[in-house]
Amino acid sequence: MIRIQQGSFSLLADLTDDQIRKQIEYSIKKGFAVGIEWTDDPHPRNSYWEMWGLPLFNVPDAATILYEINEARKAHPNVYIKINAFNNTRGIESTGLSFIVQRPSFEPGFYLVRQEGRGRHIVYTLQSYAVQASAEGSRY
Amino acid sequence: MNDVSERTRIKSERYESGVIPYKKMGYWDADYSVKETDVLVLFRITPQPGVDPIEAAAAVAGESSTATWTVVWTDLLTACDIYRAKAYFVEQVPNSTNEFFSFIAYECDLFEEASIANLTASIIGNVFGFKAVKALRLEDMRLPYGYLKTFLGPATGVIVERERLDIFGRPLLGATVKPKLGLSGKNYGRVVYEGLRGGLDFLKDDENINSQPFMRWRERYLYVIEGVNKAAAKTGTVKGSYLNVTAATMEEMYERAEFAREVGSVIIMIDLIIGYTAIQSISYWARKNDLILHLHRAGHSTYTRQKNHGVNFRVICKWMRMAGVDHIHAGTVVGKLEGDPNAVKGFYDTLLLPVLKENRNLGIFFDMDWASLRKCLPVASGGIHCGQMHQLVQLLGEDVVLQFGGGTIGHPDGIQAGATANRVALESMILARNEGRNYVEEGPEILKAASKDCRPLQVALDLWKAITFNYASTDTLDYEATPTKSAS
pLDDT tens digits for range B292-341: 999 999 999 999 999 999 999 999 999 999 999 999 999 888 876 667 88
Beta bridge partners of B26: none
Provide mean pLDDT across the span B104-128. Answer: 96
Judge whether residue B34 has pLDDT over 80.
yes
Q: Check CB contact under 8 Å for A22 and B436.
A: yes
Q: Check CB contact under 8 Å for B199 and A5.
A: yes
In whole angstroms, give the CA distance from residue B337 to residue A125: 40
pLDDT tens digits for range B327-380: 999 988 887 666 788 999 999 999 999 999 999 999 999 999 999 999 999 999
Does the beta carbon of B453 lie under 8 angstroms from any beta carbon of chain A? yes
Chain A residue with the nearest C-alpha to that of B167: A7
- Minimal C-alpha gap between B386 and chain A (Å): 15
Chain A residue with the nearest C-alpha to that of B433: A26
Whether the complex's predicted ipTM is more than 0.90 is answered with yes
A-interface mutation test, from B202, B356, B431, most A Cβ less than 10 A away:
B431
pLDDT of residue B113: 98
Cβ atoms of residues A65 and A59 within 8 Å? yes
Cβ atoms of residues A102 and A3 within 8 Å? no
How many residue pairs bridge chain A and chain B with CB atoms within 8 Å of each other? 110
- Our CA angle for B77, B82, B83, nearest 5°, is 75
Cβ atoms of residues B473 and B487 within 8 Å? no
In whole angstroms, give the CA distance from residue B261 to residue B263: 6
The confidence band for B487, taking pLDDT boundaries of 50, 70 and 90, is very low
Judge whether residue B279 has pLDDT over 70.
yes
Cβ atoms of residues B293 and B267 within 8 Å? yes
Residues of B serving a catalytic function are 178, 296
Cβ atoms of residues B264 and B232 within 8 Å? no
Burial label for B233, CB within 10 Å (0-12, 13-18, 19+), is buried
Contacts of B169 in chain A (CB under 8 A): 8, 85, 95-99
pLDDT of residue B237: 98
- Rounded to two decimals, the pTM is 0.95
